[in-house]
């Protein structure tokens, strides 16, 4: 994965369509949950593709109930956490595995190594297909990934400042774009979810203790080497491999994002 493309690979969109309902009768707070994005949300869409962007092997999934599924970390992703908090009884199915009535609950279209393209990232197109509630999640402190700090160096700082400044600028423009869409699209109820500050808070605290590093042993692509034992302190690790956050960080990000997401439910 080219470092210059990291900025475009870390933003993703969570789409909630149709009318919301509250979890007072054992049902989920929303009827369906559709997920679009890259490897941060991928739950196995790349498993059958002939490319290097798949991770359906140990130690990936070592802490996930079903083991290795194609998720790019040791356990749950942010959408997994959000789905649980929204009241879904099972994780949203990946596109190849969603069958029959399961599709009515939502589909995870996230795919590792995906980017932002005009034909795949237009929120107005989603609106045309009936999406009225969208959560657009901003970019994380990309200058703090193990790949970024190793590739660019930090010049004595905790992270690569130029990459983090680019992420902050991107998020500012993204937030304005979300506001613009809410004003232009009839019935739109879009929300921008800020994760930069959430993650930076923990990086700033734990990073000073030498925890900005991969939990697993990585290959030349920054992905975990198959069957190699990962670090033992996974409950404190910030990053799983050279690019992706650990389940620990996803649990924090997902929980705080859920509280913000409830304002549009």
pLDDT tens-digit map of 28-69: 999 999 999 999 999 999 998 888 889 999 999 999 999 999
Q: Which residues are catalytic?
A: 39, 241, 244
From first CA to last CA, the distance across the chain in angstroms is 36
SS3 of residue 100 by DSSP: helix
Q: Are 46 and 68 in contact (CB under 8 A)?
A: no
Furthest CA-CA distance within the chain: 55
Q: How confident is the model at residue 15 (pLDDT cuts 50, 70, 90)?
A: low
Domain boundaries, the chain: 3-264
3-state percent breakdown (helix, strand, coil) of the chain, nearest 5: 35, 10, 55
- C-alpha to C-alpha distance for 21 and 40, rounded to whole angstroms: 27
pLDDT tens-digit map of 203-240: 988 766 677 899 999 999 999 999 999 999 898 899 99
Global pTM reads: 0.89
- The CATH number corresponding to 3-264 among 3.40.50.1980, 3.40.50.1110, 3.40.640.10, 3.40.50.720 equals 3.40.50.1110
């Amino acid at each position: 994965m080219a470092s210059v493309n990291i900025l475009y690979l870390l933003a993703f969109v969570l789409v909630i369509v149709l009318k919301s309902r509250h979890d007072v009768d054992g049902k989920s707070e929303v009827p369906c949950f559709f997920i679009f994005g890259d490897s941060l949300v991928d739950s196995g869409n790349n498993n059958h593709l002939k490319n290097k962007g798949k991770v359906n092997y140990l130690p990936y999934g070592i802490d996930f109930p079903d083991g290795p599924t194609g998720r790019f970390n040791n356990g749950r992703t942010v959408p997994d956490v959000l789905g649980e908090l929204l009241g879904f009884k099972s994780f949203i199915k990946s596109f190849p595995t969603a069958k029959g009535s399961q599709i009515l609950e939502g589909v995870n279209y996230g795919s590792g190594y995906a980017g932002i393209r005009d034909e795949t990232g237009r929120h107005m197109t989603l609106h045309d297909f009936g999406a009225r509630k969208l959560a657009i999640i901003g970019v994380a402190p990309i200058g703090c990934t193990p790949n970024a700090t190793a590739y660019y160096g930090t010049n004595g700082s905790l992270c690569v400042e130029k990459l983090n400044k680019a992420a902050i600028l991107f998020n500012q423009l993204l937030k304005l774009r979300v506001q613009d869409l809410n004003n232009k699209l009839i019935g739109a109820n879009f929300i921008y979810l800020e994760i930069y500050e959430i993650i930076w808070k923990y990086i700033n605290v734990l990073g000073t203790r030498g925890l900005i590093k991969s939990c697993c042993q990585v290959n030349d692509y920054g992905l975990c080497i198959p069957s190699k034992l990962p670090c033992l302190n996974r409950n404190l690790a910030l990053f799983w491999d050279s690019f992706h956050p650990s389940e620990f960080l996803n649990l924090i990000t997902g929980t705080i994002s859920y509280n913000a997401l409830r304002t549009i439910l």
